[in-house]
Amino acid sequence: MGRMVRLTEAGRILQLRAEQIIGLVDSTVSEISEHHKGLRGTISIGTVASTGVTLLPERIRSFHQSYPMVYFQLWEGDTHRITELLESRVIEVGLVRLPIDHAKKYNMLQLPTEPLMAAIGPAWSEGDDESPIRLSDLADLPILLLRRQHGTFIYEQFLEACKQSGFEPNVLCESSDIMTLLALAESGVGIAIVPKSAINLRASTSLQFREIIEPSLETTAAVIWLKNRFLSTPARRFIETFSTIKDKSSNVESKSRL
């Protein structure tokens, strides 16, 4: 019987360096080819609905004008689903809501925070009032929330804020689909708690969107991609388009990490 061969520590280091060199050579060859032929390929992106609808359309349009041979595949889901798609390498880039589980696995470009809003239909509104609403004013109203996920997201954030304010909210419905929550709110079922960017999801609506205060509640989106994974040149170029809207006060990965 043959002997089992195992790499020494020095052998493992050499193997790692060899893999990195091969990867660098392959990416360099690809970039040189792209330089001569023009940037081409497919970018696979996963996004949560309320983020993608506000950030992707104009970027994809502009990017496609500059690089007409680059195509897009879009996947939608909640933050947990997007991280699953990244880890299974179905997508290269994710647009998610923070925080995320196992954040150290990812490079991250954090985007500006946005307030949580109460989406209120005609059955619960009083005139055209769009002024901020206190969290305590929601205590006796039926609440519609994005379904809880793994980790701490809008659902847990809202419940914790209510607890700190001395009441337990009447959560009537949970859904992973933000459009469903907005439709239910507009029909008078209850008050939907959504990110401010959700306003752009319904072009024509009778909903009032009122910012929640006392306390103010915020949510933050981010562009993420797996560490130690080779990114295609189209994906790297597309990620760079988000650097123009990053929150300058945030701790973000530098472009040199792309």
Q: Quick one: pLDDT band at residue 251, thresholds 50, 70, 90?
A: very low
- What's the mean pLDDT when you consider all of the chain? 82
| Co-location of 106 and 23 in the same domain | yes
Contact 205, 125 (CB under 8 A): no
Structural domain contains residue 40: yes
Supply the pTM of this predicted model: 0.71
Structural domain contains residue 169: yes
**Domain range holding 13?**
9-112+220-257
| d(C-alpha 15, C-alpha 106), whole Å | 23
| Co-location of 90 and 175 in the same domain | no
| Co-location of 95 and 22 in the same domain | yes
Q: Give the chain's domain count.
A: 2
**In the predicted structure, residue 19 carries a pLDDT above the cut 50:** yes
CATH number for the domain that contains residue 87: 3.40.190.10
CA distances to 42, 46, 127, 139, 256 from 144, in Å = 37, 24, 21, 13, 42
Structural domain contains residue 4: no
> What pLDDT does 246 receive?
53
| Co-location of 120 and 97 in the same domain | no
| Co-location of 108 and 29 in the same domain | yes
pLDDT tens for each residue of 29-73: 655 555 545 588 999 999 987 688 778 988 999 999 999 999 999
Structural domain contains residue 2: no
Alpha helices by DSSP H, listed for the chain, are 9-37, 49-66, 79-87, 154-164, 178-186, 233-240
